[in-house]
Amino acid sequence: MASHSTGDGGIPKRGVEKDGLKRVMSLGGAYGTRNYTVKDLRDCKGKRVLVETLPFSPEEAMAAEEAGIDTMKVRFDPNQPELAASIRKAAPNTFMAFSVPLVAAASEVEAVRLGYDAMAIGADAIMCQWSPKFVAAAADAGIPIQGHAGLVPRKSTWTGGLRAVGKTLDEALWIYNEIKALEEAGAYAVEVEVIPEQLLIEISQRTSLLTSSIGGGRGGDLQFLFAEDILGNNSPPYPRHSKQYRNIFKMKQEMQAERVAGFKEFIEDVQTGSFPEQKHIIQAPEGLIDKFLSEI
């Protein structure tokens, strides 16, 4: 098959790698380059642990890509897709699964439509909290799907609230069966949240799905943390499973204090006549004001 060039500034022709990136076409029909395809990710299972994050802004996504994050999740709001699109643009070479709202699809047809809408603006996969029935419909439509098991926050009423899951035999078996059902439905990966590490180790060895661990210890094929936790964007308390590598919250407090101080100094200068100074004002040319007054 002949290669096709899109004339896009030196990006290699289809199927040719450049700087370790794969030439791809998205489900939406756009050419691009990615660090991983779904096949690449699946080939990594059992060989090395990948790192994953969820950025909340284009700046965070750009920094994550520059740092070398393997994969990202991105929240996708079908009513306001601009943020997800801007994050996609900020990190164009990183594999991204767009996280779709649970309540945005109420049928298999709507699940497929929602998945297609996300893929059309650059998603490489869909992250969802759907039932296996919805997952199967979307997967059958060609959409790579990452499911969710363990503590699923929006369904936490069924597991006793926002707490660790899988510490009893019944819960451990339920998590395993949920993951196997997603596997049977055609998902390629599953986010597993807040379960015992030893349990995830055993489950990961017994499923073909890539397991993304958030609060599941070292048992996953990917280690996942939100960017806001990694960067320390918020004040304590922090989730037990998270680690703060920076303290941007403190920096934001310091910046806010600087803003307040700047406004106070401006107010004081105006009230005391210190602002504006001569260097801040425009002098009228000689004679202009006399001529102006004579005219009015």
Query: Domain holding 113: CATH number?
Result: 3.20.20.60
Residue 295 is assigned to a structural domain of this protein = no
d(CA 41, CA 221): 9
Give residue 28's pLDDT: 82
Q: Is the pLDDT of residue 34 over 80?
A: yes
Residue 27 is assigned to a structural domain of this protein = yes
Q: Is the pLDDT of residue 2 over 80?
A: no
Question: What are the residue numbers of the active site?
Answer: 193
Residue 222 is assigned to a structural domain of this protein = yes
Q: Is the pLDDT of residue 17 over 60?
A: no
Overall domain count for the chain:
1
Q: Is the pLDDT of residue 128 over 70?
A: yes
Residue 42 is assigned to a structural domain of this protein = yes
Give residue 202's pLDDT: 98
Query: What does the pLDDT average to over 177-196?
Result: 98
Q: Amino acid identity, residue 54?
A: L
Q: Is the pLDDT of residue 11 over 70?
A: no
Residue 256 is assigned to a structural domain of this protein = no
Q: Is the pLDDT of residue 7 over 60?
A: no
Residue 8 is assigned to a structural domain of this protein = no
Domain that holds residue 117: 22-230
Residue 1 is assigned to a structural domain of this protein = no
Query: What does the pLDDT average to over 103-124?
Result: 96
pLDDT confidence tier of residue 144, bands split at 50, 70 and 90: very high
Query: What does the pLDDT average to over 220-237?
Result: 96
Query: What does the pLDDT average to over 259-276?
Result: 98
Share the mean pLDDT of the chain.
93
